[in-house]
Amino acid sequence: MITGKTKIIGIFGDPIEHTLSPLIHNEAFRCLELDYCYVPFHVKRENLKIAVEAIKALNIKGVNITVPHKETVISYLDELSEEAKVIGAVNTVLNEEGKLKGFNTDVKGFLLSLKEEGISVRNKNVLVIGAGGASKAVVYGLLKEGGKVYIYNRTKSKALAIKEQMNKYGFIEVLNKIEENLSDKVQIIINATSLGLKKEDPLPFDPEILDSKHVYYDIVYPETKMIKEASKRGCKAIGGLGMLIWQAAYAFEIWTQIKAPLEAMKKFLNTY
């Protein structure tokens, strides 16, 4: 029940209708009987500045930020976490008594989802496909944990830009193409493109390079065609649900300072 005391959390994006975040977070609030409510706000580009100002004016406790505002929102915030600074994108904002602090929970979400699966990336060679916003979080997380990154992207210049920026955190090499001999060289292969989101999307790469010694990780949720291909070839295949839930759990903890009910959130999304 919404009362005069209910704390409001929001999400700003355009479009916003497809978002699963209100479902996940409201389920978590319900589960722990917390007096919070999570609502979607359809915020167009030209209204982002006043929408962010409204977080303070309306005493909204926090928001998630989604497409297309993750980068532009930064200039309207008071403070940034280390991850948000490095990635140059914010997906979570906390209103700390009128001070707006931006976080990027994708990095931690990605790392926690790997940990949950019992996978260590230290000294492993990891092939990352894609060089968009999500890929940046994945690459930074891998380098921070001591992984060696080989990155391939359709638009090479974007992969080179990530290398330029992330070089100082560890080993990263840009590939011109995904060659077959990579199969023996890498232990983990990650689809960090948006391919698989739409049913008609092509596969992000030829699945023939996959075999049972590989871990295949796909940041896309729900289950992609590539996850099925990887499983067929005996890979340990991990889909995007883990990263989605863990980044949400970390955001939940930033807002409430309470441990997120992870299993309930996951179960809810699985049955939705």
Please identify every residue annotated as catalytic. Answer: 70
232 lines the binding site for ligand ATR (CB under 6 A): no
* Closer residue to ligand ATR, CB minimum distance, 39 or 203: 203
| DSSP3 helix / strand / coil % (the chain, rounded to 5) | 40, 20, 40
158 lines the binding site for ligand ATR (CB under 6 A): yes
Smallest gap from Cβ 194 to ligand ATR, in A, equals 4
Site residues for ligand ATR, 94-133, by CB under 6 A, read 130-133
* Closer residue to ligand ATR, CB minimum distance, 9 or 219: 219
134 lines the binding site for ligand ATR (CB under 6 A): yes
Smallest gap from Cβ 57 to ligand ATR, in A, equals 29
Residues in contact with 67: Cβ distance below 8 Å, sequence separation at least 6, in sequence order: 13, 14, 15
The two three-digit tokens of residue 61, written as one number: 């406790």
Residues in contact with 211: Cβ distance below 8 Å, sequence separation at least 6, in sequence order: 183, 233, 234, 235
> Which amino acid is residue 267, in one-letter code?
K
Smallest gap from Cβ 193 to ligand ATR, in A, equals 3
Contact residue for ligand ATR among 81, 95, 125, 153 (CB under 6 A):
153
In eight-state DSSP terms, residue 175 is -
Paired residues of 7 in beta bridges: 36
154 lines the binding site for ligand ATR (CB under 6 A): yes
Scanning 24-32, 40-48, 53-61, 154-162 for contacts with ligand ATR by CB under 6 A, the matching segment is 154-162
Scanning 72-80, 107-115, 193-201, 252-260 for contacts with ligand ATR by CB under 6 A, the matching segment is 193-201
71 lines the binding site for ligand ATR (CB under 6 A): no
Smallest gap from Cβ 107 to ligand ATR, in A, equals 13
Scanning 16-24, 48-56, 149-157, 167-175 for contacts with ligand ATR by CB under 6 A, the matching segment is 149-157
* Closer residue to ligand ATR, CB minimum distance, 95 or 193: 193
Contact residue for ligand ATR among 194, 231, 233, 254 (CB under 6 A):
194
- State how far the Cα of 87 lies from the Cα of 48, in Å rounded to an integer: 20
- State how far the Cα of 102 lies from the Cα of 207, in Å rounded to an integer: 38
Q: 92-96 and 99-103: which strand pairing?
A: antiparallel
The two three-digit tokens of residue 31, written as one number: 């589960």
Helix 241-256 vs helix 105-116: crossing angle, to nearest 10: 120
Smallest gap from Cβ 179 to ligand ATR, in A, equals 17
191 lines the binding site for ligand ATR (CB under 6 A): no
**Long-range contacts from 195-203, C-beta under 8 angstroms, 24+ separation:** 195/220, 195/224, 195/226, 196/220, 196/224, 196/225, 196/226, 196/227, 201/225, 203/229
64 lines the binding site for ligand ATR (CB under 6 A): no
Paired residues of 9 in beta bridges: 38, 62
Contact residues toward ligand ATR (CB under 6 A) are 130-135, 153-155, 158, 193-195
